[in-house]
Amino acid sequence: MVRHFLDVGDLTAEELLAVLDRATTTKAALADGTSERPLADRTLAMVFEKPSTRTRVSFETGMTQLGGHAMFLGPEDIQLGHGEPLKDTARVLSRYVDVVMARLFDHADLEELAAHATVPVVNGLTDDAHPCQTLADLLTIREAFGGFDVDVTWIGDGNNVAQSFVLGCAMTGVDLTVVTPPGYAIDDDVLDRAAELGATPTLADDPADAARDADVVYTDVWVSMGQEDQRAEKLAAFEGFQVNEELLAGTDARVMHCLPAHRGEEITDAVLESDRALVWDQAENRMHAQKALLVTLLE
């Protein structure tokens, strides 16, 4: 049976921990020069509707380090969105490659791709979910704190990154508080899935209060790609939700951000450049976590 990774809950809690363990092992092997190449002669197709620095470079470099090959397929390279049905694209790619990573706008399009693919499909990001980021986030938290007995406060938009992170925290026991302005909360169906997976986050509306006892404060952009027409509305709604030195004063909280950051909006330059920031570890860990995931799916 083909295994897809469309959101974090596609893994069991045990499988999730096993992927993180494998990521730790492969990261250490890369550092000491003992890496293996378990995906020799395997090919990853990387389908992009939305551009990304981290997603492309981490998957492409990771696949090379595993001994395989990755090919970039942008909007102008294939028929996706130019008349060919997604199911046809899925069937054809499945005849050529061993695994597909797709970074799309509509999550339903990803589900359609996976429904007709006969090779694993990995979610590189959709408007609903960003599970590969959650793998990197959990790996980073475990590295920084030695485990998952950690209090994390999410401040900002209940977006795709937040929604996958809610599921990952439920599966690993991370104590999560989510602080969002009215109208930008986590979707109810995500909260229901989190409850089924282990726990729902605490929901709050006061960023300063929620950050006071946090080990980690996590934020993301307020205006995501494709939402530029909502910019003025969102900036007004998120007033008071910036992660800045005032918010963090008197705390020892580390800071996470999936990047790219809109410096001066959801986070200040001073915080992002401070010793609190775990963001560069998060960015690096995208590659290690995704390598572990690819090997797991192709075993």
Residues annotated as binding site? 52-55, 79, 103, 130-133, 160, 220, 224-225, 258-259, 286
Catalytic site includes residue 88:
no
Half-sphere exposure of 75 (CA within 13 A, CB side): 9
Catalytic site includes residue 142:
no
> How far is it, in rounded angstroms, from Cα 61 to Cα 67?
10
Query: Which of 4, 103, 193, 276 is the catalytic position?
Result: 103
Helix-strand-coil split of the chain, %, nearest 5: 45, 15, 35
Q: Report the Cα–Cα distance between both ends of the chain, in Å, rounded.
A: 12
> How far is it, in rounded angstroms, from Cα 70 to Cα 63?
6
Amino acid occupying residue 128? D
Query: Which of 4, 42, 56, 130 is the catalytic position?
Result: 130
- Give the angle subtended at the CA of 57 by the CAs of 52 and 61, to the nearest 5°: 160
Q: Which residues are part of a known binding site for L-ornithine?
A: 160, 220, 224-225
Query: Which of 4, 215, 220, 282 is the catalytic position?
Result: 220
Query: Which of 258, 276, 282, 290 is the catalytic position?
Result: 258
> How far is it, in rounded angstroms, from Cα 56 to Cα 77?
15
Catalytic site includes residue 169:
no
Relative orientation angle of helices 13-32 and 131-145, to the nearest 10 degrees: 70
- Sheet of 254-257: strand order equals 202-204, 175-179, 151-155, 216-219, 254-257
Query: Which of 56, 254, 286, 288 is the catalytic position?
Result: 286
Catalytic site includes residue 42:
no
Catalytic site positions: 103, 130, 133, 220, 258, 286
